[in-house]
Structure 1
Amino acid sequence: MAEAYPWQDSLWQHLAGRGQHAHAYLLHGPKGIGKRALAERLMALLLCQHPAGLAACGQCKSCHLLAAGSHPDNYILEPEEADKAIKVDQVRDLVSFVVQTAQLGGRKVVLIEPVEAMNINAANALLKSLEEPSGNTVLLLVSHQPSRLLPTIKSRCVQQACPLPSHATSLAWLATALPDSSDEQREELLTLAADSPLVAVSLQAQGVVEQRALVVEGVKKLLKQQTSPTQLAEAWNAIPLLLLFDWFCDWSNLILRYQLTQDEEGLGLQDMRKVVQYLAQKSGQGKVLAVQDWILAQRQKVLSKANLNRVLLLEALLVSWAGLPGQS
């Protein structure tokens, strides 16, 4: 059974308590807040033969088949490989499933995640099933970036926003999820995760705190001319490119923010506050904006899985960063 997160209580009451269910739901919101778990709970409830209030009974034949991953009326569509597209042939297989009769005589339930992974042909192939699903079929679409979806996809679904939990709620949950971490470490992880608690847990498991400490130390040495861009690019070989570009993008935003507001409370995490403040005071705003534009453009290439020369890309980033202090 999928985990029931405390910040989803009211949302679950709203979804599970509906007198009549829609043929398609679009559950959307930031990554790392439990949308997949919410969809799986709803899937179990919709397939259950003897629901117990607003929850699947866990005891009927349908629940046992679902737990075993062999329910004949359940279909999960996701990329064949992580971070790859959902292809049109995959959607065609799904459409063939939708037109079949439910083998257990109840509903058929489809879960698609993430929906934005569908390429344009796959998305168009899904439209007919979304508009007129055969029989008693419910489609549960999970999206981390609904802005990337076709309007025709969104218009055929009941759209349900899944908001971030409050900062306090996330920290309380992390205290249970990461009992061996200190309050300061959980606070740092949650900040690095943009307040998404499940992402914070994932970052902790990946050793991101240690990776960030390595990067921060390297940036400080770079600005003191104690190391070179080439040396740092090689030293950071094990750190994901997207993570690096996320951090440098965040730091450039903080520099610009401080230049505009002089608000010392808005300097970000403690580890880079002095560096951000120094760069804000010593760098021309035009130069910071130009570097930020370049970082955003390269970050988009990383997101689109472009074939990039990692070392050369990081060297270019670090040369630009080292050149920020001084005249515009």
Structure 2
Amino acid sequence: MAEAYPWQAALWQTLAGRTQHAHAYLLHGPIGIGKRALAERLMARLLCRSPVGLDACGQCKACLLLAAGTHPDNFILEPEEADKAIKVDQVRELVSFVVQTAQLGGRKVVLVEPAEAMNLNAANALLKSLEEPSGDTVLLLVSHQPSRLLPTVKSRCVQQACPLPSEADSLAWLAQALPESSAEECRELLSLAAGSPLAAVSLQGQGVREQRAQVVEGVKKLLKQQQAPSQLAEGWNSIPLLLLFDWFCDWSQLMLRYQLTKDEEGLGLSDMRKVVQYLADKSSQSKVLALQDWLLAQRQKVLSKANLNRVLLLEALLVQWASLPGQG
């Protein structure tokens, strides 16, 4: 059974407590806050034949079939390969499922995640099923980036924002999820995960703190002219491109904030505070703004899975970064 996260308690009461359900829900929010688990929990509740309070019983035929992955009235639509698009042929299979009669005589439930992975043709193919699903069918769409969804998809769903937990709730949960990590390490991971506790656990599993230390050391050597952009670009081959752009976008934003406020408390994590402050003091605001615009544009290309030359892209980033100090 999907995990019930404490920060979802109020939302769960609202969703599971409904006497009549919408034909389509769009559960959206930042990645790493438990939206998929919430959708799976709701899916189990909707398919269960003998619910106990607001939860599925876990014991009836429907619950046992769902747990085994063989429930005939359940359809999960996700990319065939990680980080790839959901294709129109996959959606056509879903549409065929939706028009069938429920084999167990109850509801049919569809889970789509991440919904923004549908390409344009796939999203258009889903519209009729979203608007008029046959029989008692409920579609649960999970999205980390609802801005990338077609307006026609969003308008056909009940849109439900999922809550980002408070820092206190996240740290309490992380203390249990990562018992070998110190409180300071958990706080650092949560910051790197932009406040999303499940993403923090995932980052810890990827060795993000070691990757971050490697990048920070490289940036410092770059500014001291001890290492060339091309060397660093090659050396960071194992670090996810999106992670690198997230960090450089964050650092450029911190620079701008410091240039405007001179608030030393707002310089981010301790590993880059002195570097951020130094660059903010030595760089013109126009150069930092221009770099941030470029970073955001390239980050969007990374998100959209554009065919990029990784090494050349990172080299271009580092050349601009190294040229920040000075007038311009």
TM-score range, shorter chain: over 0.9
Partner of residue 101, structure 1: 101
Q: CA deviation at 1:56?
A: 0.6
Q: CA deviation at 1:270?
A: 0.4
- Give the 5 Å matches for 1:173-252: 173-252=173-252
Corresponding letter in the other structure for 2:67: A
Corresponding letter in the other structure for 2:168: A
Question: Secondary structure of the residue that 1:62 maps to in structure 2?
Answer: helix
Corresponding letter in the other structure for 2:95: V
Give the direction of change, closer, same or farther, for the CA distance of 1:154–1:307 in structure 2 (3 Å limit).
closer
Any unmatched runs of 5+ in structure 1? none
C-alpha distance in 1 between matches for 2:57 and 2:10: 20
- Give the 5 Å matches for 1:8-23: 8-23=8-23
Partner of residue 151, structure 1: 151
Partner of residue 75, structure 2: 75
Identical residues among aligned pairs (%):
84
Partner of residue 36, structure 1: 36
Corresponding letter in the other structure for 1:159: Q
C-alpha distance in 2 between matches for 1:19 and 1:233: 56
Partner of residue 320, structure 2: 320
C-alpha distance in 2 between matches for 1:20 and 1:125: 26
C-alpha distance in 1 between matches for 2:79 and 2:309: 26
Question: Secondary structure of the residue that 2:70 maps to in structure 1?
Answer: coil
Q: CA deviation at 1:159?
A: 1.3
Question: Secondary structure of the residue that 1:139 maps to in structure 2?
Answer: strand
- Match status 1:55 vs 2:55: yes
- What whole-Å deviation, never above 9, does each CA across 1:82-131 have from its counterpart, x for those lacking one? 11111111111101101111111111111011111111111111111111
C-alpha distance in 2 between matches for 1:105 and 1:130: 21
Partner of residue 300, structure 2: 300
Q: CA deviation at 1:307?
A: 2.1
C-alpha distance in 2 between matches for 1:55 and 1:99: 27
Q: CA deviation at 1:300?
A: 1.8
C-alpha distance in 2 between matches for 1:66 and 1:217: 48
- Match status 1:87 vs 2:72: no
Partner of residue 262, structure 1: 262
Aligned length: 328
C-alpha distance in 1 between matches for 2:259 and 2:270: 18
Question: Secondary structure of the residue that 1:111 maps to in structure 2?
Answer: strand
- Greater shift after overlay, 116-125 or 60-69? 116-125
Residue 74 of structure 2 contacts residue 109 of structure 2 at CA under 8 Å; is this kept in 1? yes
C-alpha distance in 1 between matches for 2:164 and 2:46: 25
Corresponding letter in the other structure for 1:90: Q
Question: Secondary structure of the residue that 1:243 maps to in structure 2?
Answer: helix
Q: CA deviation at 1:133?
A: 0.8
What is the alpha-carbon root mean square deviation over aligned residues?
Answer: 0.9
- Greater shift after overlay, 83-92 or 59-68? 83-92
Q: CA deviation at 1:4?
A: 0.5
Q: CA deviation at 1:230?
A: 1.6
- What whole-Å deviation, never above 9, does each CA across 1:39-94 have from its counterpart, x for those lacking one? 00010011011111111111111011000000000000011111111111111110
Any unmatched runs of 5+ in structure 2? none
Q: CA deviation at 1:188?
A: 0.5
